[in-house]
Chain A
């Protein structure tokens, strides 16, 4: 039943899928670390820090992810850093994703009523202790649902890395289509793109369900 062109394509696309997952994991990790840090600066007391954070968020949320990716991809070699497309992609996606995560962090922190901080201050807690022990545990409820949504956005954005030459699930699919059309004259484009769509759906749909479930559960 299985057409003979399919097994090698699937085999190669699974390698691509592994690259997609790896890029998604690394960009999510770095975007989260950077994003939460920047999000915290946007609610800092120091006006300077606040502005730096807000400017970062406004710039990177206002430009297309692909533009950031291309910029990082082309500017790294000019700065004398020669890296693989994969590293450039992770850097680009993380820089861009961090802005969105920073905005989510800011919203979550601001959703905690001011009185909580005032109470902590009255108890003699320092600014940092207040943030860690009082604000953060309450902000997490508002943070998690949109954060999970943002992770699906980042996973989907990894498909853009095929444009700069990463052999991710989409890149591998495109290479196989080129090969098939060269060998048999039929690229099987609909079937192969269909497989790519199914792969992304299978990863992202459970995550959107998780986001919905979290939203229902963590509603205060």
Chain B
């Protein structure tokens, strides 16, 4: 089945733009959540650590699609009405954040204890040694794991089809229901996801290489 592809392609590209937009916000917020809570979890402060562990385990063990429905259809019950766009980035941020906490915590944990002992011996406080030694080294080690989560978040933006946010998969689904051109439309959408993922992982590998810490790294 052939279809005039000009118009459809433009619609798909608009969809891709929408996917990129919610993903970008979700990814950025998840990195912030991950770095901050990852540091707190690494610190081992009582209560705070357990609360973060509950957040992480809960979000990692429940499907994103249910979070999306909960935010979009559940919260209005208590008077919180979110638009599909807001639901999209909030759900991606909270869900991705839980995974990023683990990426960053693993990075911080990979910093050799000698470094920290040395920092403390130089008279740095615990906080200062974290700020000037563990944080810069740990973040660099976290790059590969964080990049994997980031890519998954971008692909998961497809789930917003469930609440009618016009991202790439929703648009493709809509065009398919109008034209029945399953292979060409979903194929093009898949190609767009693949290209973005390839570019993102290329960027991540370059970042990883330029930030890798000599003699550390090789994690995962």
**B160: nearest chain-A partner, CB-CB:** A66
Give the residues in chain B near A196, CB-CB below 8 Å. 66
- Interface-centre pick from B61, B176, B190 (highest chain A CB count, 10 A): B61
Interface residues on B, range: 35 or more
Give the residues in chain B near A70, CB-CB below 8 Å. 161, 169, 172-173, 176, 186
Are A170 and B61 in contact, with the CB atoms below 8 A? no
Residues 127-165 of A, flagged 1 when their CB comes within 8 A of B and 0 if not, give: 000000000000000000000000010001101101100
Are A208 and B190 in contact, with the CB atoms below 8 A? no
Task: Give Cα A153 to B69, complex, Å.
Answer: 18
Task: Give Cα A67 to B62, complex, Å.
Answer: 20
B174 to chain A, nearest CB (A): 11
B53 to chain A, nearest CB (A): 12
Q: At the interface, yes or no: B57 with Cβ under 8 Å from chain A?
A: yes
Task: Give Cα A70 to B182, complex, Å.
Answer: 9
Q: At the interface, yes or no: A116 with Cβ under 8 Å from chain B?
A: no
- Interface-centre pick from A70, A163, A194, A204 (highest chain B CB count, 10 A): A70
Residue from the list A78, A189, A208 in contact with B73, Cβ < 8 A = A189
Residues 48-63 of A, flagged 1 when their CB comes within 8 A of B and 0 if not, give: 0000000000110011
Residue from the list B66, B169, B182 in contact with A197, Cβ < 8 A = B66
Are B61 and A66 in contact, with the CB atoms below 8 A? no
**A59: nearest chain-B partner, CB-CB:** B194
Residues 189-220 of B, flagged 1 when their CB comes within 8 A of A and 0 if not, give: 11001100110000000000000000000000
Give the residues in chain A near B193, CB-CB below 8 Å. 62-64, 67
Are A75 and B183 in contact, with the CB atoms below 8 A? yes
Q: At the interface, yes or no: B58 with Cβ under 8 Å from chain A?
A: yes
Are B162 and A187 in contact, with the CB atoms below 8 A? no
- Interface-centre pick from A59, A157, A189 (highest chain B CB count, 10 A): A189
Partner-binding segment picked from B3-11, B27-35, B118-126, B151-159: B151-159
A50 to chain B, nearest CB (A): 19
Give the residues in chain B near A75, CB-CB below 8 Å. 182-183, 186
A208 and B77 in contact, given A75-B183, A174-B69 (Cβ under 8 angstroms): no
Residue from the list A58, A187, A190 in contact with B70, Cβ < 8 A = A190
B69 to chain A, nearest CB (A): 6
Give the residues in chain A near B76, CB-CB below 8 Å. 189
Task: Give Cα A187 to B72, complex, Å.
Answer: 13
A197 and B159 in contact, given A62-B198, A63-B190, A64-B169 (Cβ under 8 angstroms): no
Residues in B127-168 with C-beta less than 8 Å from chain A = 155-159, 161-162
Q: At the interface, yes or no: B47 with Cβ under 8 Å from chain A?
A: no
Residues 165-190 of A, flagged 1 when their CB comes within 8 A of B and 0 if not, give: 00000100010010000000001111
Q: At the interface, yes or no: B60 with Cβ under 8 Å from chain A?
A: yes
**A170: nearest chain-B partner, CB-CB:** B66
Q: At the interface, yes or no: B74 with Cβ under 8 Å from chain A?
A: yes
Task: Give Cα A66 to B190, complex, Å.
Answer: 11
Residue from the list B57, B64, B183 in contact with A208, Cβ < 8 A = B57
Give the residues in chain A near B77, CB-CB below 8 Å. 187-190
Residue from the list A74, A159, A208 in contact with B63, Cβ < 8 A = A159
Task: Give Cα A59 to B193, complex, Å.
Answer: 10
Are B61 and A204 in contact, with the CB atoms below 8 A? yes
For the A-B complex with A63-B194, A75-B186 known, give 10 more contacts whose Cβ atoms are closer than 8 Å. Answer: A62-B197, A64-B169, A64-B193, A156-B61, A157-B63, A163-B65, A188-B77, A193-B66, A193-B73, A197-B67
- In the A-B complex, list the 6 residue pairs whose CB atoms are closest, starting with the nearest: A64-B158, A204-B61, A156-B63, A159-B63, A189-B74, A64-B155
Give 19 CB contacts A-B under 8 Å: A59-B190, A62-B155, A62-B193, A62-B197, A63-B155, A63-B193, A64-B155, A64-B156, A66-B169, A67-B190, A71-B182, A74-B176, A78-B180, A189-B73, A190-B75, A194-B74, A196-B66, A201-B58, A201-B61
